[in-house]
């Protein structure tokens, strides 16, 4: 799973919110999706981000709910070297997310763009943004409201796989849907 813990907990929250008759909202306690929350002025040693340890089990027990109220399970798509083109095999994944976002206008997604390690870090940050931007554009064409979608590029800073080989590179060139 490529989701960060906060995203996972929020996914749980969304999922629970759409389960009819479910009264529990136990997955939201870390509340770390409150935006760019870190205050200035705190000194060295600040880590800034509180992330909870919430498991994603709420995703799988949505019996009886509409399919479109569930966040699509595949949340990572991969790219070719030096490319921001959506590969044909991932179009169905994007279509599923577009459908979900259209049907759930209160849902928001952060598209996290990533690159492999080759090249300079800041330029890769820009390339990661271009990759996530290509996904954003796809969703927009599919009728998703721009207000539901945000792009954050991590460049090469958060590799999914370590190693200086093509296998690792291929896993790292990705866009993650973080709900």
Partner 1 sequence: MRALMTTWLTALLLLCAPLAQAELTIDITRGNEQATPIAVVPFANEGASLPEDLAQIVADDLERSGYFDPLEREAMFEQPSSSDEVRYGDWKALDTRYMVVGRVSREGEGVRVRYELMDVSGESRMLGETVTANPDQLRAAAHRISDQVFEAITGIRGAFSTRIAYVTSEGVGDDMSFKLFVADADGHNSQQALSSDEPIMSPAWSPDGRKLAYVSFEGERPAIYVQEVSSGRRVKLTSFEGLNSAPSWSPDGRKLAMALSRDGQPEIYTIDIGSRDLQRITNSPSIETEPSWSPDGRSLIYTSDRSGGPQIYRQALGGGDPERLTYTGNYNARARFAPDGEAIFLIHKGNNGYQVARQDLDSGRLVELSDARQAESPSVAPNGTMVIFATQQGSRGVLGAVSADGRASFRLPAAQGDVREPAWSPFLN
Residues of the shown chain interacting with partner 1 in the complex, contacts defined by CB under 8 A: 2-6, 32-33, 35-49, 51, 110, 117-123, 125-127, 129-130, 150-155, 157-164
Q: Give the nearest distance from C-beta 88 to partner 1 in angstroms.
A: 24
Residue 104 or 153 having the CB closest to partner 1: 153
Q: Give the nearest distance from C-beta 165 to partner 1 in angstroms.
A: 10
Please return the burial class of 178, using the count of CB atoms within 10 Å of its CB with bins 0-12, 13-18 and 19+.
buried
Q: Give the nearest distance from C-beta 98 to partner 1 in angstroms.
A: 22
β partners of residue 174 = 78
Which is it for the CA torsion 120, 124, 125, 126, positive or negative?
positive
Residue 62 or 178 having the CB closest to partner 1: 178
Q: Give the nearest distance from C-beta 66 to partner 1 in angstroms.
A: 29
Q: Buried (b) or exposed (e) across 25-54, using 16+ Cβ within 10 A?
A: eebbebebbeeeeeeeeeeeeeeeeeeeeb
Residue 160 or 170 having the CB closest to partner 1: 160
Residue 18 or 84 having the CB closest to partner 1: 84
Decide: 107 and 177 in contact? Cβ < 8 Å.
no
């Amino acid at each position: 799973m490529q989701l960060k813990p906060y995203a996972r907990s929020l996914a749980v929250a969304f999922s629970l919110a759409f389960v009819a008759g479910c009264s529990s909202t136990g997955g939201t306690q870390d509340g770390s999706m409150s935006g760019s929350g870190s205050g200035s002025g705190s000194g060295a040693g600040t880590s800034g981000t509180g992330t909870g340890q919430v498991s994603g089990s709420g995703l799988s027990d949505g019996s009886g709910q509409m399919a479109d109220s569930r966040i699509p399970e595949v949340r990572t798509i991969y790219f070719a070297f030096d490319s921001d083109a959506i590969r044909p095999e991932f179009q169905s994944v994007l279509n599923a997310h577009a459908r979900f976002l259209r049907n759930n206008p209160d849902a928001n997604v952060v598209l996290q763009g990533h690159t492999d390690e080759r090249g300079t870090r800041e330029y890769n940050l820009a390339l990661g943004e271009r990759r996530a931007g290509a996904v954003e554009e796809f969703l927009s064409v599919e009728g998703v409201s721009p207000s539901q979608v945000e792009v954050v590029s991590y460049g090469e800073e958060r590799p999914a796989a370590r190693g200086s080989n093509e296998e690792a590179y291929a896993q790292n060139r990705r866009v993650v849907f973080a709900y």
